[in-house]
């Protein structure tokens, strides 16, 4: 699966990065944890996991990680954010507003599905990526309230867009790493080869 590429980076400052590592192990994709801005020089793409976006932002401030990720994405390197990672990638964040990287033209409402107890596993559709329904785990998930003109909707759950793409940026409001379904991670790995 490597094809001479550098490993996939998994942002490991907070959140469920270990589950993304398990998924990449399952599909035999080399990975490394990214804990410092300099680590980005050693990876071909970056996964930004779910977790607590405000906690991640505090870390970004002290480490210069936010600027480093913007620079990394600006070079065309693929970046995939799930849940809190998607919030950080968004251009607009509400409920409440917060700092963000602004790398994908979407508006996101934080915690829109409610608290942790309101978490759920649902079945969604990603017709361009999979011929079968995709299992989607939502944990205190954001909702994408606006999709900009240059953004493709790759996945829906009910009426809501839940997986979106703009160029080299991929954002999902659910946790594909918490399922057995490899569809989304395999799609992201394909972006490394493009």
Is residue 165 flagged as an active site residue?
A: no
How many helical (H) and strand (E) elements, i.e. helices and strands, does the chain have? 5, 12
Among 65, 51, 20, residue whose Cα is nearest residue 182:
20
Is residue 109 flagged as an active site residue?
A: no
Is residue 83 flagged as an active site residue?
A: yes
Q: Say which of 20, 157, 175, 185 is annotated catalytic.
A: 175
* Rg of the chain in Å (alpha carbons): 15
Residue with tokens 């990394």: 72
User: At a CB cut-off of 8 Å and minimum separation 6, what does 194 contact?
Assistant: none
Q: Say which of 20, 83, 126, 165 is annotated catalytic.
A: 83
Q: Say which of 109, 125, 165, 177 is annotated catalytic.
A: 177
Q: To 5 degrees, how large is the angle CA 155–CA 159–CA 165?
A: 30
Which residues have a catalytic role annotated? 83, 175, 177
């Amino acid at each position: 699966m490597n094809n001479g590429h550098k490993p996939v980076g998994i942002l490991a400052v907070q959140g469920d990065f270990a589950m993304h590592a398990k998924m990449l192990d399952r599909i035999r994709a080399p990975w490394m944890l990214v804990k410092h801005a300099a680590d980005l020089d050693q990876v071909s793409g970056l996964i930004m996991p779910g977790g607590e976006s405000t906690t991640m932002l505090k870390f970004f401030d002290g480490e210069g990680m936010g600027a480093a990720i913007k620079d990394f994405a600006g070079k065309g390197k693929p970046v995939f954010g799930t849940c809190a990672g998607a919030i950080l990638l968004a251009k607009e964040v509400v409920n409440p507003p917060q700092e963000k990287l602004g790398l994908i033209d979407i508006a996101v409402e934080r915690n829109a599905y409610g608290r942790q107890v309101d978490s759920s596993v649902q079945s969604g559709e990603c017709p361009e990526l999979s011929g079968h329904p995709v299992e989607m785990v939502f944990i205190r998930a954001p909702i994408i309230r606006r999709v900009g003109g240059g953004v493709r909707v790759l996945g829906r759950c009910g009426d809501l867009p839940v997986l979106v793409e703009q160029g080299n940026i991929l954002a999902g409001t659910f946790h594909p790493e918490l399922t057995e379904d490899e569809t989304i991670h395999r799609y992201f790995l394909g972006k490394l080869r493009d």
